[in-house]
């Protein structure tokens, strides 16, 4: 069978949740380039935010989200996110996601920039893994067709309407085509652009490249969130040390033992993560080190082992007992805020093409994502995608988004006479050095020129590694060129040559082929 009602590309929380809902309305195919268990969702330690306590409200959650978004959040989309959050949490409970409880009620934790405790966890710091395992088990037992080790190579479009997808069998190299009524891109982010990142190896910007090449709009790519605290040990890949560790009482010190965050922000260790990340970079530079220290040794050991079992065990496996030793940390690339531009129903500008999860940009995050809103965004807008595709969407009046749109196309850049060959290692180092936490014009121009040269010189991709490199280079170009255009600092985008925000730039940069 090569025709389905719904085809979902990707197997994170957005893809799996969408597939389960779509099964009630028609035939479903899930395409994933690895296993349906391999995605960024598994790495989400922080949790999922929702206003479910008597001391909270969707309006309060909305206000916190908009405040974090630094003037670029779509208020209507945010109200949808926060208003529909409790019902979507109820759906996950119905799916048997084992959220942590206290005295018979779901336990709620405090995280930075949230005004009240509203973050649900499962298994302490294993929230994403528990949700992913629960949903993947349901998909496997539901009869939904799943193609593992298959990679989408092209979205097929005729007369501005999606008709299907072309895929590569990563094991045999053969190409297949599948037709569909609706195609949902849920491929995750692009953390592999950066040398230091907290993402799965599969986060290579595939959905951005697929959608852009098909003619879809890509928005807000300059806003890439760096997590301030990833484990920094010699020979060990960066491992996320959840923001919830600071929410529980952990404090940041430089290598000289000085507790520095109050020098940078009134909220101290609970400041917004972009400020914490830049503050850590500054302390690293001041002390001529490659790390700072996250200290939880003053907390009761049982609190650490019960609340953060994954973090505790991972560190212990690498010779670090965090109940007694301070944790060496440094920033790492974490979350792609921008993505495929969608409306409040997950629709793109191509009929029948939808996007959800980290690959999508719904407008809720603005210029800076509020912690633990990403898993929530995936389930809220995945639900709305199926309502829209099934013709049961309740149309609501738009409040109107007054933000301006700056429409752009990628221009040709002169190719330098000599440049190093394209490689994943070179690409990651380039982004870390030139398009990282702190950016400036000269470095961005250098990166943009080299990325354009790589894109023009690459042979046609023929297998998964070459496809992923091609997708990363295109995604990196969209990110870098947007960062070069935006001559201000806002949210997760910081330009040292334009360190202040400007009302002139309260707009969105949109790319279209």
User: No. of H helices and E strands in the chain?
Assistant: 13, 21
Nearest 5°: phi and psi at 165?
Answer: -150, 145
* Contact present, 72 and 508 (Cβ < 8 Å): yes
**CA 101 vs CA 98, 108, 415, 451: distances in Å:** 9, 8, 58, 48
| Chain centre to alpha carbon of residue 230 | 16
The first and second tokens of residue 505, run together, are 């730039």
Asked about 324 being catalytic, the answer comes back as no
- Taking every pair of Cα atoms in the chain, the longest distance, rounded to a whole number of angstroms, is 68
Which position among 273, 307, 369, 384 bears the catalytic label?
273
HSE toward the beta carbon, residue 228, CA cutoff 13 A: 30
Nearest Cα to 355, choosing from 218, 190, 507?
218
Q: DSSP assignment of 391-438, as one string?
A: T------------EEEEE-PPP-PPPS--PPP-HHHHHHHHHHHSSSS
Distance CA 307, CA 322 (A): 13
In three-state secondary structure terms, 279 is: helix
- Contact predicate 372/82, CB 8 Å: no
Residue 329, SS3 per DSSP:
strand
CB neighbours of residue 44 within 10 Å = 27
Query: Which residues neighbour 435 within 8 Å (Cβ) at sequence distance 6 or greater?
Result: 193, 443, 444, 447, 476, 479, 480, 483
Locate the DSSP E strands across 105-250: 105-106, 108-109, 119-120, 145-148, 150-158, 161-169, 175-185, 218-219, 224-231
> What does the DSSP 8-state code read for residue 383?
H
Reduced to 3 states (helix: H, G, I; strand: E, B; else coil), residue 334 is strand
**Which residues are catalytically annotated?**
273
């Amino acid at each position: 069978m090569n025709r389905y009602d719904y085809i979902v590309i990707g197997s994170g929380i957005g893809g799996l949740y969408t597939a389960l809902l779509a099964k009630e309305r028609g035939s479903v195919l899930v395409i994933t380039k690895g296993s349906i268990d391999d995605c960024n969702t598994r790495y989400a330690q922080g949790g999922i935010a929702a206003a479910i306590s008597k001391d909270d409200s969707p309006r309060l959650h909305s206000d916190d989200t908009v405040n974090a978004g630094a003037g670029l959040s779509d208020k209507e989309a945010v109200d949808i996110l926060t208003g529909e959050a409790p019902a979507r949490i109820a759906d996950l409970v119905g799916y048997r996601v084992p959220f942590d409880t206290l005295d018979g009620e779901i336990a709620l934790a405090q995280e930075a920039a949230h005004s009240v405790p509203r973050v649900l966890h499962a298994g302490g710091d294993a929230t994403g893994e528990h949700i992913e395992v629960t949903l993947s088990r349901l998909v496997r037992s539901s009869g939904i067709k799943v193609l593992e080790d298959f990679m989408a190579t092209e979205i097929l479009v005729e007369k501005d309407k999606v008709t299907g997808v072309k895929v590569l069998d990563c094991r045999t190299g053969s190409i297949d085509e599948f037709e569909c009524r609706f195609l949902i891109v849920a491929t995750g982010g692009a953390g592999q652009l950066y040398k230091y990142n907290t993402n799965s190896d599969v986060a290579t910007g595939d959905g951005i490249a697929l959608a852009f090449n098909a003619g879809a709009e890509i928005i807000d790519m300059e806003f890439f969130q760096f997590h301030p605290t990833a484990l920094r040990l010699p020979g060990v890949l960066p491992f996320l040390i959840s923001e919830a560790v600071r929410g529980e009482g952990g404090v940041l010190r430089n290598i000289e033992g000085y507790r520095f965050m109050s020098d940078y922000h009134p909220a101290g260790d609970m400041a917004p993560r972009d400020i914490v990340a830049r503050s850590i970079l500054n302390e690293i530079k001041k002390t001529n080190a490659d790390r700072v220290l996250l200290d939880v040794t003053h907390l009761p050991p049982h609190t650490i082992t019960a609340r953060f079992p994954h973090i505790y065990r991972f560190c212990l496996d690498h010779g670090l007992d965090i109940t007694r030793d301070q944790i060496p940390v440094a920033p790492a690339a974490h979350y792609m805020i921008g993505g495929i531009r969608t409306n409040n129903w997950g629709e793109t500008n191509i009929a029948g093409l939808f996007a959800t999860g980290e690959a999508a940009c719904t407008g809720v995050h603005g210029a800076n994502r509020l912690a633990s809103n990403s898993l929530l965004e995936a389930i809220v807008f995945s639900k709305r995608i199926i309502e829209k595709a099934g013709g049961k969407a309740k149309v609501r009046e738009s409040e109107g988004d007054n933000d301006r749109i700056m429409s752009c196309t990628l221009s040709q850049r002169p190719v330098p006479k000599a440049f190093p060959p394209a490689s994943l290692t070179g690409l990651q180092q380039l982004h870390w050095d030139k398009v990282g936490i702190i950016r400036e014009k000269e470095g961005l121009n250098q990166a943009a020129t080299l990325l354009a040269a790589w894109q023009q010189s690459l042979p046609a991709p023929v297998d998964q590694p070459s496809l992923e490199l091609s997708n990363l280079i295109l995604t990196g170009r969209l990110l870098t060129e947007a960062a070069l255009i935006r001559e201000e600092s806002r949210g997760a985008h910081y330009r040292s040559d334009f360190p202040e925000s400007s009302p002139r730039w309260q707009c969105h940069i949109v790319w279209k082929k």
